[in-house]
Chain A
Amino acid sequence: MLIISTGNKAVAAAVKQAHPSVVAAYPITPQTEIIEQIANYVANKEIETEYIPVESEHSAMAACIGASVTGVRTFTATSSHGLLYMHEMLHWAAGARLPIVMANVNRALGPGWNTWAEHTDAFSQRDTGWLQVFVGTVQEAYDATLMAFRIAEDERVLLPVMVNLDGFSLSHIMQSLDTVELGDFIPPMKLPHAIDVNNPMGYGPMTGPADYFTFRWDIERSMRDARDVIRETEEEFARRFGRKYGPTEDYLCEDADVVVVSMGTLGKEAEVAVDILRKEGIKAGSMRLRWFRPFPDLDLKGKEVVVIDRDYSFGFGGVVAASIRAKTGVECYNVIAGLGGQEVTYDDIAGFVRDRKIGEEMWFGVSE
């Protein structure tokens, strides 16, 4: 069914169809609309979900953990400081191998207070053991949320998944949304280690170095297996519902001399920039990175690469550029742009490509 929706409402619509047993959440701008919408579904009895209005994000994730380990589907949503406040619990969720799904509406971090888009919040959670996907459209916010439950709950994964969407520039904009008849796309959740009073176990007790090491390796092994599960899930989604997704969304990359790598909503701007550059005779392409964890294998050999980082690791560089250099060995022109919601248009991006200085870093809009 074709409707008009914000990014936030698209996430809520997907959650409604995935039908979690428990949603525990705390409101924060610009995520609020997601949980307001879910609260409405619950109040109107459109879904049979226990909605736990917790007193903090730390407790939101703790409550999801407590519910999930009984073997039921859980969901929460947050943003920015809320995500950082639950940081500790993100480790507990992944370490306990719980398939919790969370929407994170990407937002900058204070000070100063800033409610607009930036990816530093999600990247701060890079090493927690969560899968992370970044979406670029309202439709993708919906589709990725549906697929997140399926991927997280696959027995080869059993790790939590974070669906990232840009604050305001996606969470609050209206686009067309084609909802699907879900059918059996998301099977009932089966947690092999669900709490069973007839088979009592200690969950997460004191663990010595050797056993702890094994648990960490198990997470990494599942992260590696998750690549297959993601691919299979996205392929099945395409077969059933006609929309194709992959680890990246590539636009005119094959014959490109220069490729713009970006994430989130800037990826769509980059595609328009590519069209402009092609008319000027510059063979440009756009590669929007969708999956950040597990990090995909990227084929960028022989290309000039312009990486737009909507984040920064102080004293080091852009996180995406650093990841690409480390994983591919390809050098790039690292543009730091869009921090705290800074406007970045397709014209700006075309300019980055025209003025590229491979091997250098440039802060967009900052005068020396």
Chain B
Amino acid sequence: MSEIPKEEYIKTCTAACAGCSSSLCLRYVLKAAGPDTVLVIPACCTSVIQGVYPNTSFNVPVYNIAFAAAAACASGMSKAFRSAGKKTNVIAYAGDGGTVDIGIQALSGAFERGTDFLYICYDNEAYGNTGMQRSGATPLGALTTTTPGGKGEFKKDLDRIVAAHNPPYMATACSSYPLDLYKKVKKALSIEGPKFIHILAPCPPGWRYESDRTIEMGKLAVKTGSWVLWEREYGKLTVSGPSKAAMKNPLPLEEYLKGQGRFKKATPEIIAKLQQALNKNLERIRKEEEGIC
């Protein structure tokens, strides 16, 4: 971890929940990006993490914009900075709701236009900011306040949607593997054009686990193969270190699910479906890495 700068970009005044993994992600994202950076955020937990006016917990400029508009706003900002000869990093930092649901049109437009920016989706698999309602990223069987019996549909496959836009760089990450995240942000920002990083960000109140288990929860997601760390540069996929080992010999899925209150109503049938989808995903990633698909 010695290569990670000591400089902090999230200071005091943050209004984040205890055990918030998204704050942790943002801490490393900003360390990688450095001070010549502007964050564009839609309605999401980050608008809470930043604190209440007149305070701000960040020491980079943060531009708050309407829920559906982060990628479009960042698009205009990036064009304006570049036309003025400025290299300033423009990072749209949005939750899963603002990405897979209401914001997906703007995301798609910005990627299609080749916008020079980094879009990061930190994914806590629900509308966390407003108290855990279902999003398109909520997994099958998970309890939310709007799926009190457990969600009946699978998580939307955001990565394949973004991949269809052929960005020069895209990657997955997890708050429990900060060095991996740090390196991916660094690499993304060294490349011109639209970049995408999808971070799994466990959420103690939303996923219903004790706040001191956030790191453990992310590690279990990776070790069971529920969340796979990889990066795709110019179309070439490489599985990242922590997931290489996990993919060879994944822990049983139940290890990940059992500690989360949100899966307490998941039946054996639901768990079997989740396991089946997980296996299929791992197989697809293996084949893609080997260049078979």
Decide whether A and B assemble into one complex: yes
A interface residues with partner B (beta carbon < 8 Å): 21-22, 24, 48, 50, 52-56, 58-60, 62-72, 74, 88-89, 92, 195-197, 200-208, 211
Say whether, besides A67-B79, A72-B84, A207-B52, A62 and B58 are in contact (CB < 8 Å). no
Alpha-carbon distance between A72 and B79 when the two chains are bound, in angstroms: 10
- Find out whether the CB atom of A204 lies under 8 angstroms from the CB atom of B63: yes
A58 contacts across to B, CB distance below 8 A: 68-69, 72, 105-106
Question: Which of chain B's residues has its CB closest to A197's CB?
Answer: B36
Alpha-carbon distance between A65 and B77 when the two chains are bound, in angstroms: 8
Contact of A197 among B38, B47, B55, B83 (CB under 8 A): B38
- Find out whether the CB atom of B64 lies under 8 angstroms from the CB atom of A202: yes
B56 contacts across to A, CB distance below 8 A: 200-202, 205
CB distance from A361 to the nearest CB of B (A): 37
CB distance from A25 to the nearest CB of B (A): 11
Whether a CB of chain A sits under 8 angstroms from the CB of B108 is yes
Say whether, besides A22-B76, A22-B83, A67-B80, A55 and B52 are in contact (CB < 8 Å). no
- Find out whether the CB atom of B75 lies under 8 angstroms from the CB atom of A65: no
Contact of B83 among A50, A65, A68 (CB under 8 A): A50
B interface residues with partner A (beta carbon < 8 Å): 35-38, 40, 47-48, 50-56, 58-66, 68-69, 71-84, 86, 88, 105-106, 108-109, 112-113
- Find out whether the CB atom of B66 lies under 8 angstroms from the CB atom of A92: yes
- Find out whether the CB atom of B75 lies under 8 angstroms from the CB atom of A63: yes
CB distance from B14 to the nearest CB of A (A): 12
CB distance from A190 to the nearest CB of B (A): 14
The interface centre, meaning the residue of B55, B59, B72 with most chain A CB atoms within 10 A of its CB, is B72
Contact of A62 among B54, B66, B113 (CB under 8 A): B66
- Find out whether the CB atom of A206 lies under 8 angstroms from the CB atom of B48: yes
CB distance from B73 to the nearest CB of A (A): 4
CB distance from A206 to the nearest CB of B (A): 5
Alpha-carbon distance between A154 and B112 when the two chains are bound, in angstroms: 36
Alpha-carbon distance between A23 and B65 when the two chains are bound, in angstroms: 19
Question: Which of chain B's residues has its CB closest to A65's CB?
Answer: B73
- Find out whether the CB atom of A66 lies under 8 angstroms from the CB atom of B109: no
CB distance from B231 to the nearest CB of A (A): 27
Question: Which of chain A's residues has its CB closest to B37's CB?
Answer: A197
A195 contacts across to B, CB distance below 8 A: 38, 61, 63, 77
CB distance from A207 to the nearest CB of B (A): 4
Question: What number of A-B contacts does a CB cutoff of 8 Å give?
Answer: 159
Alpha-carbon distance between A24 and B79 when the two chains are bound, in angstroms: 10
Alpha-carbon distance between A72 and B40 when the two chains are bound, in angstroms: 17
- Find out whether the CB atom of A54 lies under 8 angstroms from the CB atom of B79: no
Alpha-carbon distance between A70 and B75 when the two chains are bound, in angstroms: 12
Alpha-carbon distance between A209 and B99 when the two chains are bound, in angstroms: 29
Say whether, besides A66-B80, A74-B76, A202 and B106 are in contact (CB < 8 Å). no
B69 contacts across to A, CB distance below 8 A: 58-59, 62, 65, 89, 92
- Find out whether the CB atom of A205 lies under 8 angstroms from the CB atom of B50: yes
A60 contacts across to B, CB distance below 8 A: 72
Question: Which of chain B's residues has its CB closest to A195's CB?
Answer: B61
Alpha-carbon distance between A63 and B69 when the two chains are bound, in angstroms: 8
Alpha-carbon distance between A56 and B71 when the two chains are bound, in angstroms: 12
Alpha-carbon distance between A64 and B47 when the two chains are bound, in angstroms: 21
- Find out whether the CB atom of B65 lies under 8 angstroms from the CB atom of A62: yes
Add 12 more A-B contacts to A50-B80, A66-B78, A203-B62 (CB < 8 A).
A24-B75, A58-B72, A63-B79, A67-B77, A72-B80, A89-B66, A202-B53, A202-B55, A203-B64, A206-B48, A208-B52, A211-B54
Question: Which of chain A's residues has its CB closest to B69's CB?
Answer: A62
Contact of B47 among A65, A88, A206 (CB under 8 A): A206
Contact of A66 among B54, B62, B72 (CB under 8 A): B72
A and B contact pairs by CB, cutoff 8 A, 22 listed: A21-B84, A24-B75, A24-B76, A50-B80, A53-B113, A54-B113, A55-B106, A56-B105, A58-B69, A64-B76, A66-B40, A66-B63, A66-B75, A69-B77, A72-B80, A89-B66, A92-B69, A197-B60, A202-B50, A205-B62, A208-B53, A211-B54
A21 contacts across to B, CB distance below 8 A: 80, 83-84
A89 contacts across to B, CB distance below 8 A: 66, 69
A203 contacts across to B, CB distance below 8 A: 61-64
Closest 7 pairs (CB-CB, A-B): A63-B76, A66-B76, A55-B109, A59-B72, A202-B56, A66-B77, A62-B72
A201 contacts across to B, CB distance below 8 A: 56, 61-62
Question: Which of chain A's residues has its CB closest to B74's CB?
Answer: A66
- Find out whether the CB atom of B61 lies under 8 angstroms from the CB atom of A197: yes
- Find out whether the CB atom of B84 lies under 8 angstroms from the CB atom of A70: yes
Alpha-carbon distance between A54 and B72 when the two chains are bound, in angstroms: 8
- Find out whether the CB atom of B80 lies under 8 angstroms from the CB atom of A200: no
Question: Which of chain A's residues has its CB closest to B108's CB?
Answer: A55
Question: Which of chain B's residues has its CB closest to A48's CB?
Answer: B83
Alpha-carbon distance between A203 and B58 when the two chains are bound, in angstroms: 11
- Find out whether the CB atom of A205 lies under 8 angstroms from the CB atom of B76: no
Alpha-carbon distance between A62 and B102 when the two chains are bound, in angstroms: 14
- Find out whether the CB atom of B65 lies under 8 angstroms from the CB atom of A22: no
